[in-house]
Structure 1
Amino acid sequence: MTFSIVGFDTQEKEWGIAVQSKFLGVGAVVPFAKAGVGAVATQSYANTAYGPQALELMAQGKSAKEAMELITKEDPDKEMRQVGLIDAEGNPATFTGTYCYDWAGGVTGKHFAAQGNILVDENTAKAMAETFESTEGSLAHRLLQALNAGQKAGGDSRGQQSAALLVVKEKGGYGGYNDRYIDLRVDDHPEPITELIRIYGLQQLYFAKSKPENVVAIEGDVKDTVVQYLKRLDYLKADPSDGEELHKALTSYIHTENFEEREQEKGKIDLEVLDFMKNQ
């Protein structure tokens, strides 16, 4: 009922899962991950106990392969399960039970495991694998591109309904208080992967750090544009008489729209925030 990919980024030390299914709220069932430990995708009559169990075993130093053997060993229904694992070092493992509905199977490669069941054919798993390996960029981007490629190659034979993306890293969560770096879900949508990619773009806009090349001084044409849109959005009533008035209006806008992560020192602005203003 599902296809997924788990992966690891060696440079950023991130672990993640992207998943799609003809199933309501797949993000509540399939993905589990813990920074410094690994990631799990449990599906096909999913045994959700596999998530915590595998993470605990990998936290103890077990490899993905060893953890897979242990979590499935005592499960009387293991032949109905499908699981993908990535351990702390990025070693992959995938398991597809004998009784999973066709097409069902998985592919592993360097720092990833891709798997699915009730697929049109094996091309979905192959497309996910090839795309993850050939795509550059962040782990989240690679996972989403792989998931999208899997859908284009055939996907779930019953159609689409929900999708999710979970990426963890040490202190990656909001404010640095937990490891939940990216945690996004589309629970019910006719094109959930497309919608998930759109929401991921928003997540990056709101929570990613500003790129140095996008931070500019509020002067000249940039100042004129900032004033224009702050007035249009009713944060300024007239042209500001001084820089302090403009700064207060811009700060109010940034805090109202939750752009604190992209807030700059007085007299500067992130061009991505300005672009967002233009499209409101």
Structure 2
Amino acid sequence: MTFSIVARCAQTGQFGMAISSSSPAVAARCAFARAGVGAAATQNVTNPALGPLMLDEMAAGADAQQAVDAAIAADGFADYRQLLAIDGAGHCAVHSGTQALGLWTSALGRDCAAGGNLLADEGVPAAMVAGFEQAEGALGDRLIAAMRAAIEAGGEAGPVHSAGLLIVDRESWPYAELRIDWIETDCPIAAMARAWEVYKPQADDYVTRARNPSAAPSYGVPGDE
């Protein structure tokens, strides 16, 4: 019921992931990233604890494959899980259990990995990787391009209703965390892309607000001077 991509920006060192599903609030359960460490997704029949576990493993020195292996060993229900991870060196790993739902597959690329289940077409993850690799601009732009490529390739077998975009940079908190938790009359990926276009020009200023409020610009809203 889900397709996602985890990725690294080799130029900035940012990590990020994007995800969409027919289920509500998919990013709340499935999207994980940590500055200086990597990004991870846990999906299909989801165990949200596996995302932080994979990041902890990578923070301790494990590569992406070792982190995925550790999550599988700790969980005990490997057949039901679909896991994606990318580490600080850009190495990727994916696990898809035999009980993954519907048509499921994955693809590895340069500084990215994509996977999904209940897909409309087995080429969706490969299209996501190609979309990411061929896109230019900020990491968020490339993640959005990957998600748009997924929809163009068929996306999920049914309609998607939620989506999320998560990016970490140098801080302990997200550089960007945008979520469409439920939408019925529009594509959540299109709504997420619109949210990113609004947020993107302000993202660095929100970091400045945290680091040095006296240097942060105003956006002209009441009380924001």
CA contact (8 A) 2:176 2:203 kept: no
5+ residue gaps, structure 1: 172-177, 210-252, 261-280
CA contact (8 A) 1:14 1:139 kept: yes
2:189 aligned residue (188, 193, 196): 193
2-structure distance, mates of 1:182, 1:259: 20
CA contact (8 A) 1:85 1:94 kept: yes
SS, match of residue 256 in structure 1: coil
Q: Which residue of 1 is the match for residue 213 of structure 2?
A: none
SS, match of residue 150 in structure 1: helix
Structure 1 pair 14/77, CA: closer, same or farther in 2 (3 Å)? same
2:141 equivalent to 1:129? no
| Cα displacement (A) at 1:207 | 3.1
1:190-269 matched pairs, under 5 angstroms: 190-208=186-204, 254-256=219-221
2-structure distance, mates of 1:206, 1:257: 17
2-structure distance, mates of 1:77, 1:49: 13
Structure 1 pair 188/60, CA: closer, same or farther in 2 (3 Å)? same
Query: How does the TM-score come out when normalised to structure 1?
Result: 0.72
CA contact (8 A) 1:30 1:41 kept: yes
Structure 1 pair 74/17, CA: closer, same or farther in 2 (3 Å)? same
| Cα displacement (A) at 1:259 | 8.1
Q: Specify the structure having the higher radius of gyration (Cα).
A: 1
2:1 equivalent to 1:7? no
2-structure distance, mates of 1:205, 1:106: 32
SS, match of residue 66 in structure 1: helix
Give the percent of matched residue pairs that are identical in Structure 1 and Structure 2: 36
5+ residue gaps, structure 2: 206-217
CA contact (8 A) 1:42 1:84 kept: yes
CA contact (8 A) 2:53 2:71 kept: yes
Q: 1:29-75: per-residue Cα shift (whole Å, max 9, x none)?
A: 11011001110111001111111110110000100001111110243
SS, match of residue 163 in structure 1: strand
Q: Which residue of 2 is the match for residue 179 of structure 1?
A: 173
Give the AA of the match of 2:201. L
CA contact (8 A) 1:165 1:185 kept: yes
Give the AA of the match of 1:255. G
Q: CA RMSD in A?
A: 1.8
Q: Which residue of 2 is the match for residue 247 of structure 1?
A: none
1:83-98 matched pairs, under 5 angstroms: 83-98=83-98
| Cα displacement (A) at 1:89 | 1.4
Q: Which residue of 1 is the match for residue 100 of structure 2?
A: 100
Q: Which residue of 2 is the match for residue 76 of structure 1?
A: 76
CA contact (8 A) 2:175 2:203 kept: no
SS, match of residue 158 in structure 2: coil
2-structure distance, mates of 1:201, 1:54: 30
Q: How many aligned residue pairs are there?
A: 212
Q: Which residue of 1 is the match for residue 18 of structure 2?
A: 18
CA contact (8 A) 1:206 1:258 kept: no
1-structure distance, mates of 2:22, 2:34: 26
2-structure distance, mates of 1:73, 1:33: 21
CA contact (8 A) 1:164 1:185 kept: yes
Structure 1 pair 258/45, CA: closer, same or farther in 2 (3 Å)? farther
Give the AA of the match of 1:158. G
| Cα displacement (A) at 1:208 | 4.1
SS, match of residue 202 in structure 2: helix
2-structure distance, mates of 1:197, 1:74: 35
